[in-house]
Amino acid sequence: MLMTQKRRITFYSHMNDPHQDQIRDQAAMTPEERWEVFIKLRRLYYGLIGSPPKLPRAITISRPSWM
């Protein structure tokens, strides 16, 4: 179970620092924790924009144009 952390305000001096912070945080997480965070963010994203449409699954075999 993930512990909720109090959000903190961070002031960066360089534009690349937030990216490096994120990489450092993810390197400290276990794969299970990263997966849980991914699922949480995906649910939040789909909650905002809606679920993607279901695409039909079909395999189409055709002759290549160069033959």
pLDDT per residue of the chain (67 residues) written in tens, 0 to 9:
556 777 788 888 888 888 898 888 888 989 999 999 999 999 999 999 998 889 899 998 998 888 7
In a domain, 40, yes or no: yes
pLDDT at residue 46 in the model: 94
CA max distance for the chain: 63
Residue 32: which domain range? Answer: 22-47
- In one-letter notation, the amino acid at residue 9 is I
pLDDT at residue 41 in the model: 93
pLDDT at residue 2 in the model: 57
Buried-exposed string 47-66: b where 16+ CB fall within 10 A, e elsewhere: eeeeeeeeeeeeeeeeeeee
In a domain, 43, yes or no: yes
pLDDT at residue 45 in the model: 94
In a domain, 28, yes or no: yes
In a domain, 66, yes or no: no
Q: Are 30 and 2 in contact (CB under 8 A)?
A: no
Q: Which residue has the tokens 């002031």?
A: 11
pLDDT at residue 65 in the model: 86
- In one-letter notation, the amino acid at residue 5 is Q
In a domain, 60, yes or no: no
In a domain, 11, yes or no: no
What total number of domains does the chain contain? 1
